[in-house]
Amino acid sequence: MRLSWARAFPLRLWGGCRGPKMRRVTGIEWAARPMCHSSSDAPEPPSDHGSQNTPRDEEQGGPAAFAAALEELERAPGRRLGRLELVAAALAAMPALGVARQLDAYNRLLRLLPRGPWVPRGPLHRLFAPFPRQQECGLQVLEQMERYGVMPDAETRFLLLAVFGPRSRPVRKCQRMLYWLPRMLHANPYPLPAQLPPPGLAAACLGLRRIANDPDARLSVYQQPQPEQGDNEGSTQPYIVGIQSAEQQELLARHGPEHPVFVEGPFPRPPPPRLFYYVLRGDPLPPHLREPPPDPERSLYYPLYLDLDLERGPWDDDEFDVNEVEEGPVFALCMAGTGDQRTLAKWIAGLQQTNPVLGQTPVIFRLGDGDSSAGSPGDGDALHLEGSRAAELEPPEVAWGRRAQGEG
Amino acid sequence: STAPPSPLTRGNEEVFPFPEISNEELQEINQFVGPVEKFFAEEVDSKKIDQDAKIPPETLKGLGDLGLFGMQIPEEYGGLGLSNTMYARLGEIISLDGSIAVTLAAHQAIGLKGILITGTDEQKAKYLPKLASGEHIAAFCLTEPGSGSDAASIQTRATLSEDGKHFLLNGSKVWISNGGLASVFTVFARTEIVEKDGQVKDKITAFIVERDFGGVTHGKPEDKLGIRGSNTCEVHFENTKVPVENVLGEVGGGFKVAMNILNSGRFSMGSASAGMIKKLIEMTAEHACTRKQFNKKLSEFGLIQEKFCFMAVKAYVMESMAYLTAGMMDRPGLPDCSVEAAMVKVFSSEGAWACVSEALQILGGLGYMKDYPYERYLRDSRILLIFEGTNEILRMYIALTGMQHAGKILTDKIKEIKKGNIGLAVQELVNKVRDSTGRKVDYGIMEERGGLVHPSLQESGKKLEENVYYFGTTVRGLLTRFGKTIVDEQLALKRVSDIVINLYAMTAAISRASRSISIGLRNHDHDVLLTNIFCTEAYFKNNYALAQLQKYADENLDDYIKKAAKQILEKRAYICSHPLDRTF
């Protein structure tokens, strides 16, 4: 199929003089006009993909539809026109059909491309940026693979080598992908699981565990959603999930009933699914209360504190960091179906069972919207909670109204 | 100029010459040693004790008849009234059976030491006679499930009754040696005391509790890896009535009592381990010189010879350190030797574990079989690194006590430099330059005439002096860098304590070898040889550790170690991918 340049030259000239034609071009002229490939040549109608789709459900039929379309194209390989548009359309359709993460789809797509005609002939040809649009097409395939985190494998590399030749841009990109993609894929120390749970109680549990990031923290469901599952989960009664670790319990117990604690939120958690969490925190204690004073009779075997007047030298002092802001301790986290004070009061009541000190500590609700960490002080009341009766102290409409007034 | 931290601040008179005992004492000791050795050789069946996990009552009675239950109890109360040195000597023989050694140690080194040290005369007269004869056995109850070295988390409570005559003791203690056999317990519990300014505080108090007081129960004996004959179990106290007269020391002073008891019993581990290793050398040498492989006796192979030398050197140094410490403690009017005792314990426990392992290795497969005692010795010696203060904790103790001492001396100087006293800074700079270009250190140990050490130990003496001097400068540097936050730099402190232990070991070995050659004991040249070997090895190890302690040293891997440990502990697992994993 490949003409030498001497024989291809006059054909190229002749083809250029004739201008674009609205007819199917024969094989020789296809090879003779690699540079003037115009989009007016009959492109592959994307309706081929859609034709298999209509009777079936989009989600389930997606991959099957794509596979069927590809099979059809493989059976009739004679089309030399519009291959680039074909590939572009297929790439555009892949996310909708749900095959964007399957390596097999990309390999089959690459198999549709011709092997040989697009390989530059010799170093002189390579000097002049050969087959730019074809190589761009190959690059687009690889870029989509990169975007969706699909690793090319040996078959992909083989196909690219056959189609574009060694030292072409797609093959170089493939090499680079083989080097960088595993690194990028493993870069996240806290990867999301492959199957995300539907938004609701399960998603909230997953989200809380990721925020807390502590294998010792205990997740407790304070209230199950009613109805339990399905689309309208939690419509009658929202779920309340909380998480707290043992250290936080100790900190809360030491925080003391004199200092109030604040319920703040909702803070959004952007990665899908979109969740909001609430925080129970306190203000940082004054330094003299923060740590218990050194007890000389603490350790039986070796002195825990040296009675010297020497401080750490400046060259070894790594503790000061300009970006570190003094923050108060966080005692517990929670996610709830709805973010009103009544639901959160139920959370506090549930927390009280494991942290009895909450019974005497004033709890102030600062429920702004968004990331207002310093909410307006006029928002909530200092509630002295005794069991879940506190939730009935104030009907929710009044609380909402007061908050709206406070903000407005 | 710079003063090296303790124990070398003790001054040369205390460690040179090596402490001696008079001829009469030596005769007396040898009179004891004979019957005890005979008893252990004939009537103690270690293998059976290990298998049954129990010491037969006849053996206990025999030990009591020999007076081994009251070795350190004064003669007026019925004990043998031995000094520390003699106690160490007998410890060498008793250590032939690990379970018996631990039972006796738990009884007297910690169980009744409290009464000996802080008891009133009535308490001593009441309890010591029966304890000395072995009729009653004592136990030391401090450890609880939540509290190993942390005294603040002791939960056992003693509340004063209304009439003020009794304390009611409630709580449980775990891993108590002799817990099942003992009738007298030294128990540490929290009591409320009202201080002078009216504040009510929870402090620890020590009590002498008899089993007859009621409410004392013990659990079943624990199934252990080694020292299986020793009875270790949980002890529970339920509303045990303890009369007020049974408080040891004063109410609220239990912490000091506990520290004194724990710090005073450690040194005997040195001689005990040395005795065990000497016996092992005999047994393995017997084997190595008779067994032939490749038509050569095992004893002709270099690797086997190296093992024997290693065991002999360790045994020699352990003995020297133990008897030096015992001698210093016996000398009247000396301040406490708790740091030296801790150093002896650390060196001996690790040395014993390594030597027993090597001895088993010399025997090869035979050493692994239960028919031979080596595996029992190995299992018994593993506990040495753990009980009486784990080696890690004792290293911290040694290093921090030294730092405290050095810090007090050096604080003023360091502060002057930090403030920017030019003259002092220039002097320091000059000192540093002289150090780095090589300096001749002379502490007066190695003088031509009238020196403290025999000339044949000159090399070792020079090495010791050099190490001491550079150690002093390094400690100064560490204190300048870290100040009192050095408490948190455990990896640096570990190196400091390793160096100190080596220095003390070198001192003890040189002192003993010098005495040995000066008075012409049998095989004194072997003494000198072992000392020189040990000092050279320790000198290089010390230099390496000193190099690691410098700032920005290449040999110092602390930061990398901490980083790796942090990553592992974050995920609580080994985090590298499997070697066979692929990415595509």
Helix (H) or strand (E) holding A178, with range, is helix A169-185
Residue B526: its pLDDT value, please?
A: 95
CB contact under 8 A, A304 and B487: yes
Most confident region among A18-27, A269-278, B87-96 by mean pLDDT: B87-96
Among B152, B401, B485, beta carbon nearest to A295: B152
> Before B4, cis peptide (omega within 30)?
no
Cα A112 from chain centroid?
32
CB contact under 8 A, B149 and A295: no
Residue A383: its pLDDT value, please?
A: 44
Dihedrals phi, psi of A199, to nearest 5 degrees: -60, 135
Residues linked to residue B293 through DSSP beta bridges, in sequence order: B296
Helix (H) or strand (E) holding B280, with range, is helix B268-290
CB contact under 8 A, B396 and A316: no
Residue A53: its pLDDT value, please?
A: 39
Within the 20-59 window of chain B, which residues sit less than 8 Å (CB to CB) from chain A? Answer: none
pLDDT of B542 above 90: yes
Task: Please check whether residue A311 touches B, CB under 8 A.
Answer: yes
Residue A77: its pLDDT value, please?
A: 65
CB contact under 8 A, A151 and B262: no
Residues linked to residue B157 through DSSP beta bridges, in sequence order: B170, B190
Task: Please check whether residue A183 touches B, CB under 8 A.
Answer: no
Query: Are B39 and B33 spatial neighbours (Cβ–Cβ below 8 Å)?
Result: no
- Convert the pLDDT of each residue in B178-207 to its tens digit: 999 999 999 999 998 888 888 888 889 999
Residue B211: its pLDDT value, please?
A: 92
CB contact under 8 A, A310 and B415: yes
**Rounded mean pLDDT of B495-501?**
94
d(CA A191, CA A183): 13
CA distance A34 to chain B (A): 34
Task: Please check whether residue A306 touches B, CB under 8 A.
Answer: yes
Residue A369: its pLDDT value, please?
A: 55
Mean per-residue pLDDT over chain A, rounded: 75
**Length of chain A (residues):** 408
Query: Are B289 and B298 spatial neighbours (Cβ–Cβ below 8 Å)?
Result: yes
d(CA A63, CA A97): 6
Q: The complex's ipTM? A: 0.74
Dihedrals phi, psi of A229, to nearest 5 degrees: -135, 175
DSSP B77: G
CB contact under 8 A, A302 and B400: yes
- Supply the angle between the helices B338-363 and B268-290 in degrees, to the nearest 10: 20
Task: Please check whether residue B568 touches A, CB under 8 A.
Answer: no
Triad B62, B68, B72: Cα angle to 5°? 165
Q: Is A104 helix (H, G, I), strand (E, B) or coil?
A: helix
d(CA B318, CA A298): 32
**Antiparallel, parallel or unpaired: β A363-367 and A261-269:** parallel
CA distance A213 to chain B (A): 10
Task: Please check whether residue B16 touches A, CB under 8 A.
Answer: no
- Convert the pLDDT of each residue in B544-582 to its tens digit: 999 999 888 888 889 999 999 999 999 899 999 999 998
- Convert the pLDDT of each residue in B376-435 to its tens digit: 999 999 999 998 889 999 999 999 998 888 888 887 777 777 676 677 777 777 777 776
Q: Is B350 a catalytic residue?
A: no
d(CA B228, CA B376): 10
pLDDT of B96 above 60: yes
Task: Please check whether residue A320 touches B, CB under 8 A.
Answer: no
CB contact under 8 A, A307 and B415: no
Query: Are B465 and B443 spatial neighbours (Cβ–Cβ below 8 Å)?
Result: yes
What residues of chain A lie within 8 A of the CB of B415, using their CB? Answer: 309-310
Q: How far apart are the first and last CA of chain B?
A: 66
Query: Are A301 and B397 spatial neighbours (Cβ–Cβ below 8 Å)?
Result: yes
Q: Is A311 helix (H, G, I), strand (E, B) or coil?
A: coil
Residue type, A269: R
The number of beta carbons lying within 10 Å of the beta carbon of residue B401 is 21
pLDDT of A18 above 70: no
| Percentage of residues of chain B with pLDDT beyond 70 | 93
The number of beta carbons lying within 10 Å of the beta carbon of residue B325 is 31
Half-sphere exposure of residue B147: CA atoms within 13 angstroms, side-chain side? 21
**Assigned token pair, A281:** 């925190």
What residues of chain B lie within 8 A of the CB of A154, using their CB? Answer: 584
Q: Is A214 left (phi over 0), alpha (psi -120 to 50) or beta?
A: beta
pTM tops 0.95: no
Q: Is B171 left (phi over 0), alpha (psi -120 to 50) or beta?
A: left
**Antiparallel, parallel or unpaired: β B232-243 and B216-218:** antiparallel
The number of beta carbons lying within 10 Å of the beta carbon of residue A280 is 26
Residue of B92, B375, B388, B466 marked catalytic: B388
Residue A215: its pLDDT value, please?
A: 87
Output B32-41 pairs: Cβ under 8 A, ≥24 positions apart.
Answer: B32/B80, B32/B82, B32/B86, B32/B90, B33/B89, B33/B90, B33/B93, B35/B66, B36/B66, B36/B68, B36/B90, B36/B93, B36/B94, B37/B93, B39/B63, B39/B66, B40/B93, B40/B94, B40/B96, B40/B97
d(CA B238, CA B438): 67
pLDDT band at A379 (very low <50, low <70, confident <90, very high): very low
**Assigned token pair, B346:** 């650390």
Residue B428: its pLDDT value, please?
A: 72
| Probe site for chain A from B110, B261, B584 (most A CB atoms < 10 A) | B584
**Rounded mean pLDDT of B54-62?**
92
Residue B344: its pLDDT value, please?
A: 94
Residue of B nearest to A299 (CA): B150
Task: Please check whether residue B147 touches A, CB under 8 A.
Answer: no
- Supply the angle between the helices B268-290 and B374-382 in degrees, to the nearest 10: 160
Residue A27: its pLDDT value, please?
A: 40
The number of beta carbons lying within 10 Å of the beta carbon of residue A174 is 23
pLDDT of A386 above 50: no
Helix (H) or strand (E) holding B4, with range, is none
**Antiparallel, parallel or unpaired: β B138-141 and B184-194:** parallel
Residue A374: its pLDDT value, please?
A: 37
Residues linked to residue A38 through DSSP beta bridges, in sequence order: none
Residue A272: its pLDDT value, please?
A: 65
Residue A11: its pLDDT value, please?
A: 64
Residues linked to residue B160 through DSSP beta bridges, in sequence order: B167
pLDDT band at A384 (very low <50, low <70, confident <90, very high): very low
What residues of chain A lie within 8 A of the CB of B418, using their CB? Answer: 313
pLDDT of A252 above 50: yes
Query: Are A245 and A216 spatial neighbours (Cβ–Cβ below 8 Å)?
Result: yes
Triad A13, A15, A16: Cα angle to 5°? 65
Task: Tell me what percent of chain A is helix, strand and coil, each rounded to the nearest 5.
Answer: 45, 10, 45
Half-sphere exposure of residue B365: CA atoms within 13 angstroms, side-chain side? 1
Query: Are B398 and B346 spatial neighbours (Cβ–Cβ below 8 Å)?
Result: yes
Lowest mean pLDDT segment, chosen from A149-153, A182-186, B123-127, B452-456: B452-456
